[in-house]
Amino acid sequence: MHFEKHVFICTNDKDAPKKCCGSAHGMDLIQAFKDEWAKSGNTSKIRIQKSGCLDFCGKGPTMVVYPEGVFYGNVQLEDVSEITEQHLIGDQIVSRLQIG
């Protein structure tokens, strides 16, 4: 199956003292993005899934959207609708959250 966009959200956990996306609501973000996408009614083929470490631990929770290769950091549950509407649907980067 070919996807128009692929969203990877870090759910990795590491030993203290490093900040970890998994323990900082990484799995909650996955569910929130899936719920928001379903609510949008958009029929584009998209995949939203967990990933291992994206190597931006200090800026977590982090995620990346392909095919653009745009990384987002410090993503909060309150940011899900904005990223969904602006980037996943509207193809506009949410610059205030972009990292890398």
pLDDT digits (tens, 9 = 90+) for 37-85: 999 999 899 999 999 999 888 888 999 999 999 999 999 999 999 999 9
Say what the pLDDT of residue 26 is: 83
Residue 24 has pLDDT above 80, yes or no: no
Q: Which CATH class is domain 5-99?
A: alpha beta
Query: Kind of pairing, strands 98-99 and 70-72?
Result: antiparallel
Domain positions in the chain are 5-99
Task: Categorize the per-residue pLDDT at 90 as very low, low, confident or very high, splitting at 50, 70 and 90.
Answer: very high
pLDDT in the model for residue 7: 98
Residue 19 clears pLDDT 80, i.e. is over it: no
pLDDT tier, 16 (very low <50, low <70, confident <90, very high otherwise): low
pLDDT class of 100 with cuts at 50, 70, 90: confident
Residue whose C-alpha is closest to residue 46's, from 8, 87, 4, 1: 4
| Cα-based distances in Å from 52 to 21, 31, 44, 62 | 9, 16, 25, 10
